[in-house]
Structure 1
Amino acid sequence: MRNNNRFSNVYLVLVFAVLYAPIFYLMYYSFNSGGTMHGFEGFTLDYYREVIHDTRLMIIVINTLVIALLSSAIATIIAIVGALAIQRIRDRRAKNALLSLNNVLIVSPDVIIGASFLILFTIVGIKLGFTSVLLSHVAFSVPIAVLMILPHLQDMSPTLTDAARDLGASRRDVLTKVILPIIKPGIFSGFFMALTYSLDDFAVTFFVTGNGYSTLSVEIYSRARQGVSLSINALSTMIFLFTIMLVVGYYFLNRRKARPNVAEPVADLGVPR
């Protein structure tokens, strides 16, 4: 048993080393005054200052955040409606067909999805830019959010909604006061998964961005094609550290919420606090 645990730990360390070594290599050379990624000549923060003072890059960062937040919110709302509709379907074949169609969009290659959106927007007459990027991000985020929300709906006991109706609750009250609070973890999971996919997407966005509008992934790709610039390293380092801060903050918030409230059982017993 000890040998197996030791092998598992070594394997886990190797996996994380392979995943994080390129990121730390990129971060290390973002402070290189030599301007290359071959030999570290000295420490400098010039590339970070260059990123901060690059007005165009800051506008692109804002565009990326706006697209990600807006598309994730819209996709989550659509996914809630879709998950409720799928859950209420009684015909097993129809339900499985809808779930299969939903899953196909997730496993389809991004290049095919991006090219399809490009053809669609060209035929319909939608100008490539903010609208086309937003619509495409909403489209590929909805199936992800549905998969996050649907299991919580399936785990919910139908007797809860029946009891609410028997007590005189309207359909709106059942939705807002019974169903949505129960599936809230799935809603947040779907939103943040959609947010992650939107921030991370390159292939689909590359097809549907027009002249004068860009997102961070497309901009980094365009700059990388022109040659190695350590400003890209600095920008990537800032994004990575910001992501780490969000993850750590989310972890501590969850720990704080998970702490048992000792005073509550006392109150339930009628003992004053």
Structure 2
Amino acid sequence: MKPYTCAQALAAARHLGLDRLDAQLLLLHALGRPASDRSWLLAHDTDELAQDAIEAFDAYSLRRAAGEPLAYIVGNKEFFGLSLQVDARVLVPRPDTETLVEWSLEVLKMPELPPVPRVMDLGTGSGAIALAIAHSLMAAGREAKVTAVDASAEALSVARENCRRLGLRVEFMESHWLAQVSGRFNLIASNPPYIASADTHLAALGHEPLQALAAGADGLDDIRQIIEQAPACLQNGGWLLLEHGYDQAERVRGLLARQGFAQVQSRLDLAGIERCSGGQWTP
């Protein structure tokens, strides 16, 4: 059989339409090497690949060319400095959601909060938000009682395994939004579905769970439900923070204000887009 090198494998992936970074990460995965070894590929571009590595890389490349997220193929995604295991049971965590985590951590620094505040990640999926908050607080020597809620038992299974692997303390609860939740929280953070059901962009996201993406004709059905239910689950002075679409901030602020939330405001993501909106419940 004719020798097949790292450089030739990457060239074949480019021919399929894969970008350079994706091709490199898939080749490293096929070789059983960490994603941080991209420089190794450059230094070994003429190395011959073993047949099993060639077959694995070809299969990965075809899956990526068909639109499957890279994170599903390699089995993990970095979020807020944590390596999270992900698969088709959960949405792939996006960098935009780190804005929601950062805002949550700011709220949890407020001096009027109790020594051990109660925090909820509503619609946790892979556990990204809950685990990022729990890890950040632990690293700062602070405590909180963090609860991760999801309607999907399969998603909760992924989140629990991520929590176990990272050695963090988070409680998990199965509930459709806040319907089965009891007690009151100082902070509820949520990245709910917010894409309109007829949005053409959904076609490109076909490998990810639709229920974690689409939310009615205007994309706000789930956000409306959360805002309506949240007051019964928030302590006096508690905060509700929501991620939403790039053009939904004004409407979400309006929903929060009409429900009676105070200090309603939005936060920008790294691209300068209003990505999260929230308010404080002060009945």
The normalised TM-score by structure 2 is 0.21
Q: As a proportion of its length, which structure holds more helix?
A: 1
- Whichever of the two has the greater Rg, that structure is 1
The normalised TM-score by structure 1 is 0.22
Greater RCO, 1 or 2 (C-alpha within 8 Å, sep 6+): 1
Q: As a proportion of its length, which structure holds more strand?
A: 2
